[in-house]
Amino acid sequence: MGRVPLDPMPDWVPARRREIGERLRDARERAGLTQLQLGNRIGRDHRTIHRWEYAYRIPNLEDLLVLADALNVPLADLVR
């Protein structure tokens, strides 16, 4: 059976996206990296990093795993 779209999106979803973006930005800044440097480290454009940090987009699980490794933080710290 296919995936059921959430329409309308629950109110908590955008809030969680923003929280993940903030945690990503905080971890990147603690690592002393710019968006460009982090993007280069994980093979993504710096605009993608910006979109994730400001919750325009959300990284998929594979991206989150690579981000956690590149930032030397546990995955749970990004998504808790």
Span 57-70, mean pLDDT? 96
- Phi/psi region, residue 32 (left: phi>0; alpha: psi -120 to 50; beta: rest), is left
Retrieve residue 49's tokens: 């990093």
pLDDT of residue 4: 60
Domain boundaries, the chain: 12-79
pTM for this one? 0.85
How far apart CA 36 and CA 66 sit, in angstroms, is 15
CATH architecture entry for 12-79:
Orthogonal Bundle (1.10)
User: What span, in angstroms and rounded, lies between the C-alpha atoms of 14 and 47?
Assistant: 20
The alpha-carbon radius of gyration of the chain (Å, integer) is 13
pLDDT tens, position by position, 3-62: 666 678 788 889 999 999 999 999 999 999 999 999 999 999 999 999 999 999 999 999
How many angstroms separate the CA atoms of 76 and 39, rounded? 20
pLDDT value at 2 more than 80:
no
Q: pLDDT at position 80, please?
A: 85
